[in-house]
Chains A and B, each alone.
Chain A
Amino acid sequence: MSETWIILGATSSMARALARALTERGDNLLLAGRDMDELEQMAEDCRLRGAPVAEAVAFDARDPKGFAVLVSRAEAVEGTLNAAVFVGSMPEQAEIDADPSLVDGTIADSFTGPARFLQMLAPLIEARGKGTVVGVGSVAGDRGRLGNYVYGSAKAGFATYLSGLRNRLTRSGGHVITVKPGFVDTAMTWGIEGMFLVAPPEKVAEDILKAVRKKRNVIYTPFFWRWIMLIIRSVPEPIFKKLSI
């Protein structure tokens, strides 16, 4: 039976790597995002690489009114319905400090937008009794830090949401995977000082597919970020608050 993946934020490099890996499995793709030109090109790319179906669909995390179109498109799909959420935005913390209204957009992109969409999708997965949701969070969500705590808090909220959704969907045969990438070699990290152990997007895609096969709940990618974050989380707050890491 064919599987179909809705990929939110499909033009990001991690999403693109996952989409390409999925074409190798022969899965169908609904590529959702804002840049329709780029999405149309990406759909053609995926078709030429072997995806039986690859379609560009409009999705703007800040415009929930538009979600219904995508949900009904998904409803029309036969077979297993999966979703992978890559949307998110990370303005520089300094920009947010200068313009607090940026908080809203950051949280809509990284948390409330995708959460609202998944909320609409969940009944479809329940009705079919199967389907996987991959939610991409970030290690930044594990602890609030000076450098990106608005983005981090949005990702923390999303991670908590995913954990609840997992709790819900598991009852009907669905599954939710929370993915926490460390530093990944994307446009977001390109040229930023202090990056280390930067992983290629293809590595993240590979880890995600492995987690899907093994029905994992929460993964860090690459795996060693689990240990790095364990240490970071265990620093007592009186000390942590003085650090700038």
Chain B
Amino acid sequence: MRWKTAEYSGWGRAIRANGQMARPEKRAALTALMAEEPAPAIGMRRSYGDACLNDGGRAVHMIRLDKFLGFDAETGILTAEAGLTLGEITRVMAPRGWLPAVLPGTGFATVGGAIANDVHGKNHHNAGTFAQHVVAMTLLTPDGAEHRVTPETTPDLFRATVGGVGQTGIIASAEMRLKRVKSDLVTVTERRANGFDEFIAMLDSSDTTYSVGWIDATARGADLGRGLLEEAETAGGLVPTPKSSRTVPMNAPRFALSAPVVKLFNAMWYRRVPKSGHTVVKPINDFFFQLDRIHDWNRLYGKNGFHQFQCVVPLSAAAQLRDMLERISASGLASPLAVLKRTGEGRAGMMSFPMEGYTLAVDLRAQPECEALIKRLEDMTADAGGRIYFAKDALCGADRIQQMYPDLDAWRAEVAKHDPEGRMITDLVRRLKLREPA
């Protein structure tokens, strides 16, 4: 396999890596690579921080292994190569009445990346995580062996691989249960939440299939925690034509997302929805992958990039979450992108992120103050009995991970069986000392 030396980064662009990358185009090439010179997989690098980086080392870019391998319309089980994106699955399957059971906020995530972070979507409270719908995987471990991994036959390896940030080996392909949909349209109702407590109450009483909140992370005082609750169902109806996508051509200047601009934008975005709320019909892609309509939008943050902080806390810790939000709004670092959602219990792996409670995700401009803020938020999360999300993280420390992820030891032991030499270690795993015995 030929290796290409390149500088690359995750979606946040604040942290970069320099290393060698292979990009196999055929399954046989991947198998040979794992037998001879194993390295961790990376997908579309839609993780924000360093989950998809291996500075000074090697990585296997999976995006050319992107075939549909089979679909059984009786069972709804789709077999796909790991480099296929969820957006492409949606594009091809939705018109035939099928949809991935779980979709994250970007269609650019690959099947492999969605499994390795056990991603969640706007329906987590009822559908659980992505890997809960995975019935089997073909896994290539760094000893060159090929395993068929299922929740029934190899439960430990399954639970270590899903949500396991690539540490057990490379997922070559997966079989997943799709869900039936009536059409490729979604009816969306948006309502205002005046402040944090009202928002929590609205989330608690929401019972639609999809439900997610946009939160104004710049609002303070009485407005703290105000936002818009979006509730949706897939439905039939008229067909709106999808809008074409746009590309951000270059890095935006610093002022583009400076505090006053964001504050103004957020206020306008909030008022976009009338006091009484409103309901609209959207094409499936626009609803699930709103941000994907603007390609390379991460450039809006300028060349310094940005960080995303995402945590989940138990239902009983809403008050602590409010304190965290207060810190964030006081910092003036928040961007328009902030999400509040109620999560269910669903998680498929030992290291999966979700727990029953509330998850908060906020984009923060990469500034020197960012590090201290995130460190503080991390402590508050751990104190609240919650956890931070590896898919988004770039700055947290190692010391509180054990507390957040109680299955860490079991995971570590299972991973050590399959990758004893640490060939699959990435920057995230090094930074958070995920594989070092406690």
Contact = CB atoms under 8 A, between A and B. Distances in A.
A38 B68 contact: no
Interface string A157-193: 0000000000000000000000000000011001110
Contacts of B438: none
A11 interface: yes
Closest A-B pairs by Cβ, 8 of them: A191-B4, A45-B67, A48-B68, A191-B2, A45-B68, A187-B25, A38-B26, A13-B25
Interface string A25-56: 00000000001011001101100111000000
13 contacts: A35-B28, A38-B26, A38-B27, A41-B67, A41-B69, A44-B68, A44-B70, A48-B70, A48-B71, A49-B92, A187-B25, A187-B29, A191-B2
A37 B31 CA distance: 13
B327 interface: no
Given A38-B26, A49-B92, A13 B68 contact: no
Contacts of A48: 68, 70-71, 92
A10 to B, nearest CB: 12
B23 interface: yes
B79 to A, nearest CB: 9
B23 A187 contact: yes
Contacts of B67: 41-42, 44-45
Given A45-B69, A190-B4, 11 more contacts: A41-B27, A41-B67, A42-B67, A44-B70, A49-B68, A186-B25, A187-B24, A187-B29, A190-B23, A191-B5, A192-B2
In this complex, the interface size class of chain B, counting residues with CB under 8 Å from chain A, is 10 to 19
* B5, B24, B64: most-surrounded residue (chain A CB, <10 A): B64
Interface string B13-39: 000000000011111110000000000
Interface of A: 11, 13, 35, 37-38, 41-42, 44-45, 48-50, 186-187, 190-192
Interface in B349-380: none
Contacts of B2: 187, 190-192
Interface string B72-115: 00000000000000000000100000000000000000000000
A37 B30 CA distance: 14
A137 to B, nearest CB: 21
Given A49-B92, A190-B23, A44 B28 contact: no
